A and B are shown apart, each in its own frame.
Chain A
Amino acid sequence: MKRIINFFKSYIDILILDIKEHIENMPQMFKLSIADLKKTYTGAALGWAWAVIKPVVTIFVYWFAIAIGLRQGSDIDGVPYILWLIAGIISWFYMGDTITGGTDCIRRYSYLITKMKYPVTTIPTHTNLSRFFVHCIIVVIVIIIFCISGYTPPIQIIQLPFYMILMFLFFNAWSLFAGLISAMSRDFANLVKSFNISVFWLSGILWNVENVKESNPLVYKLLMLNPVTYLCYGYRDCFIMNSQGSVNGIWFWEHPKRLMYFLCWYAVLIFLSLWAYKKLRKEIPDVLI
């Protein structure tokens, strides 16, 4: 009994430490994330334009392959395929970048660990924040695109910050876990990179998961368990009035089960990140050098 209490206590202590480090280092974190952003985009002639060019090109390529090549580009939920694609894929741009980028974060900032005393738990947060700033800009652009093209988003658009924050927190926990493990060994980063593409194709970003609902209910259920699918369709619920066949749009509380599954995943990730921190914090400076 005592061992169980101690076990939980040790994890709660780390969680408190994690939160404390974030609060105490808020200004540094923001400054480092802006510095990170600058580093990503300065040094290229087009600089900031790349933050927009890259997603535009990617969207065009996928739209071309699916709509023109495979002739699967019919309207979905009452909006043209390209708009349906954009509404979901912008969340993947953040998620995909963070799945691989979060894995590298501790290694990229190894000097913060090996050369000075710096709160390790905030390193994933500031690298993710810099990506999140870019994501916010893209979201604004997409809202404008929807309005211009005559498919004004429904009132549900106001729940977009909810999904954005959920996504940020979820992948922040992932980044701490993955960053710590990959700091110990590069194998893990390679593993993540090779899985990243599978996650993309299994998550209903390019194709509508609703298509398999009738023919294969079990697969549909499994797909909806996937947190990436959850967030991607959450984004679509914000932008598209008839999302997932609804009439008046969908609020996040209308799918309590899906939200619960997502939160379970989140709890698992938090546990893993705390476990990794507890296990590796003292070893990492010796390994990174």
Chain B
Amino acid sequence: MKDTVISFNNVSKIYKLYSSTRRRLLGIFFKKISYKKKNAVDNISFEIQRGDSVALFGKNGAGKSTVLKMITGVAFPTSGEIKVNGRVSALLELTSGFDLEFTGRENIYLKGHILGLKDSEIKALEDTIVEFSELNDYIDQPVRTYSSGMKARLGFAINVNIKPEILIVDEALSVGDAAFRKKCQTKINEIIHKDNVTLLFVTHQTAVAEEFCKRGIVMKNGKIVFDGEVHEASEFYKKMK
């Protein structure tokens, strides 16, 4: 039986580019103010089933991040229909949703509250997250004092441990040292196989993607140019370069 968790139906996303912020402000009130259109995602359709692990390839500006943002519910399509079933845990960029003034531990709670978890549920996960992030004493320091690697570690630790149903990883594995990267890969593999989590993975390193993705989608200029087996997709992507 098919269990579709994500479906895109003729989805397009157009960004409005104004020549200045003043014109953007006027654009709210007057329709006449002109702007350039950037077609970031151009009429794409695809479906992802529960338990799939999909790699998204594409050059900078191909529209990968826009697709991920629309799945997360952060950005909205200009036209078309998107259906998403399940709790999405997204690692969009490194500092995903941290309050810089709060300590790492407070941020664990903040993030948990925003996702609607109860205090007791977060408390149960707290130690696992702290341990996984390897931040030790730094966990009680404000996040603004963290290096980008530390932020990424904390972000990753939170997102994989709050029992996501759909996990979105956007380039986050490219930071951190080799040992931590290995640990993340093991963890991702574990939750894919054990909890039947759906994974969407964006990277430029095709080798990493081939390790735990079965399917690959290649995007170019907002369109899907290849959708199939991950090794073929990675070959296609390499040739495209």
Contacts and interface: CB of A to CB of B under 8 A. Distances in A.
Contacts of B22: 185, 187
Interface of A: 27-28, 31-32, 35, 39, 43, 111-118, 181, 184-188, 279-283, 285-287
Contact of A28 (B73, B75, B96, B116): B116
A212 to B, nearest CB: 35
Nearest to A116: B97
Interface in B77-99: 88, 90, 92-93, 95-99
Nearest to B17: A286
A106 B74 CA distance: 14
A27 to B, nearest CB: 7
Nearest to A113: B74
B227 interface: no
B28 A279 contact: yes
Interface of B: 15-16, 21-22, 24-25, 28, 69, 72-76, 88, 90, 92-93, 95-99, 101-102, 106, 110, 113-114, 116
23 contacts: A28-B113, A31-B113, A32-B114, A35-B99, A111-B96, A111-B98, A112-B97, A112-B114, A115-B93, A115-B95, A116-B74, A116-B90, A181-B25, A181-B28, A184-B25, A185-B21, A185-B24, A187-B21, A280-B28, A281-B76, A283-B16, A285-B74, A286-B15
Contacts of B73: 117
Contacts of A115: 74, 90, 92-93, 95-97
A27 B69 CA distance: 26
Contacts of B76: 281-282, 285
Contact of A39 (B95, B102, B114): B102
Contact of A188 (B16, B25, B98): B25
Given A43-B101, A115-B96, A116-B90, A28 B114 contact: yes
Contacts of B106: 35
A281 B75 CA distance: 10
A35 B15 contact: no
